[in-house]
Amino acid sequence: MQLNDRLKLRRYGPTRRLLRMGLILTIIWFMLETYYIHQLLLNASLFDKPIKPGHHYPGRIFIASLHWNNEAILRDDWNDALVQLVSHLGPTNVFVSVYESGSWDDSKGALRELDARLDVLDVPRNITLSDVTHQDEISATPTAAHEQEGWIDTPRGRRELRRIPYLARLRNWGLLILEDLARQGIVFDTILFLNDVVFTTEDVLTLLDTNGGSYAAACSLDFSKPPQYYDTFALRDSQGHEPLMQTWPYFRSWESLDSLLSMSPIPVTSCWNGMVAMPTSPFLSQTNTPLRFRGIPDSLALHHLEGSECCLIHADNPLSSTHGVYLNPKVRVGYNRAAYTAVHPLKPQNWISSSFSPSSSLARIVVSFWENRLRRWFTMPVFERRVIRRRVKNWENEEGNRHEPGEFCLIDEMQVLVSNGWAHV
């Protein structure tokens, strides 16, 4: 009996000791990491806003926005924020391009008010309020071959207008104006795309100053229902992967994660989260085809795939590979005032825990970090992407010379315009 026990002890002893040591090491790791993240966030929140405005000269800015049923935020926040921004930049350094169509709230009234205020300030602008509704768009019957672009035969047995080519067409409207102005010798350094978000002049200046002002594109981070960020359709990490989770710390690639933790500009392959700044040069190129928004070809969309025009633009932009696309985590905007407030807490709380809930603690952050780690360990992008890859491959095989540079943008969806918005089919 005694001998047996001693033998057992000798046999299992080392394993047990190893297990115990592993457990202790894990706990130490956990504690060190908690401390490390805490320090990073402390530093980040100290430097979240510059002590004094130390921005570079932002250059001449072309501001472009699209609106559809945005009356509430226009009246409550957006118009004021835009007037403040152009006042700060100076009317001679800006151009405001606004395109609205087919809203059934009084977005037009709100934008006419904006127009009047910009007029007082003598701000050059083109505010176009169109009566064309979604219903008008989808009732058009395309006849000529070139008119059929953007229309697709859907599984529900109809020929329908794809949402993305439609949006790309609207976004390109502002670029035509930019091009017209350039032809007249009126040139801008940067184009700033503004969504219907709550933002401040300081937010825009910080965005323009991302990475010392050197980028192919710089985006803010957008929130509608914090802690989730909003625009999942266009955000891809430094390796082109979709974010692992919709809450902090979002990303799979270590490069993107690392920058997020230190709150420095995050290298990504694509982003379009509320506000985006891009140099105008690719849009005005004389040597290459000028950069434009687009959808994927209809023939590819037929394989039940879709990609955001706001992701494809980065795939097509020749500056992306040389200057980089960055998401600036210091610039956080909201689709409503409550969301904006949640990600801009009063000190000393950091914005991440306040985005979870006003009383959230550091533990919540560490748990999220572990959720991210486990997802990284137990999921493989190759397997997640195999359906997409196979469909693209089939499309490539249908005809020679087919290639989609924005494959990382693609998701398993088909989106069409309907009278009251858009739909998945």
Ligand X SMILES: *[C@@H]1O[C@H](CO)[C@@H](O)[C@H](O)[C@H]1NC(C)=O
Residues that bind ligand X (CB under 6 A): 126, 128, 176-177, 180
Question: Which of 113/258 has CB closer to ligand X?
Answer: 113
Question: Which of 106/179 has CB closer to ligand X?
Answer: 179
3-state SS assignment for residue 155:
coil
Please, what is the minimum distance in Å from the beta carbon of residue 177 to ligand X? Answer: 5
By 3-state DSSP, what share of the chain in percent is helix, strand and coil, each rounded to 5?
A: 50, 15, 35
Question: Which of 5/122 has CB closer to ligand X?
Answer: 122
Question: Which of 130/239 has CB closer to ligand X?
Answer: 130
Please, what is the minimum distance in Å from the beta carbon of residue 125 to ligand X? Answer: 8
What is the DSSP pairing of strand 266-270 with strand 236-237? antiparallel
Please, what is the minimum distance in Å from the beta carbon of residue 34 to ligand X? Answer: 55
| Cα–Cα distances in angstroms (integers) from residue 294 to residues 115, 159, 311, 399, in the given order | 29, 20, 10, 21
The CA-to-CA distance between both ends of the chain, in Å, stands at 72
Nearest one of 260, 236, 240 to 248, comparing CA atoms: 260
Q: Which residues contact 96 (CB under 8 A, 6 or more apart)?
A: 63, 82, 86, 118, 123, 124, 125, 126, 127
Question: Which of 108/162 has CB closer to ligand X?
Answer: 108
Question: Which of 99/233 has CB closer to ligand X?
Answer: 99
Please, what is the minimum distance in Å from the beta carbon of residue 124 to ligand X? Answer: 10
Please, what is the minimum distance in Å from the beta carbon of residue 128 to ligand X? Answer: 5
Please, what is the minimum distance in Å from the beta carbon of residue 173 to ligand X? Answer: 7
Please, what is the minimum distance in Å from the beta carbon of residue 184 to ligand X? Answer: 12
Residue of closest CB approach to ligand X: 126
Other CB atoms within 10 Å distance of the CB of residue 144 = 6
Question: Which of 177/302 has CB closer to ligand X?
Answer: 177
Give dist(CA 75, CA 108) in Å, integer: 11
Please, what is the minimum distance in Å from the beta carbon of residue 180 to ligand X? Answer: 6
Question: Which of 86/339 has CB closer to ligand X?
Answer: 86
Please, what is the minimum distance in Å from the beta carbon of residue 164 to ligand X? Answer: 22
Give dist(CA 209, CA 216) in Å, integer: 12
Question: Which of 92/322 has CB closer to ligand X?
Answer: 92
- Written as six digits, the tokens of 187 are 């040139």
3-state SS assignment for residue 71:
helix
| Cα–Cα distances in angstroms (integers) from residue 223 to residues 152, 323, 336, 373, in the given order | 32, 26, 8, 23
Q: Write the Ramachandran bin of 69: left for phi over 0, alpha for psi from -120 to 50, otherwise beta.
A: left
Give dist(CA 41, CA 19) in Å, integer: 33
Give dist(CA 89, CA 59) in Å, integer: 9
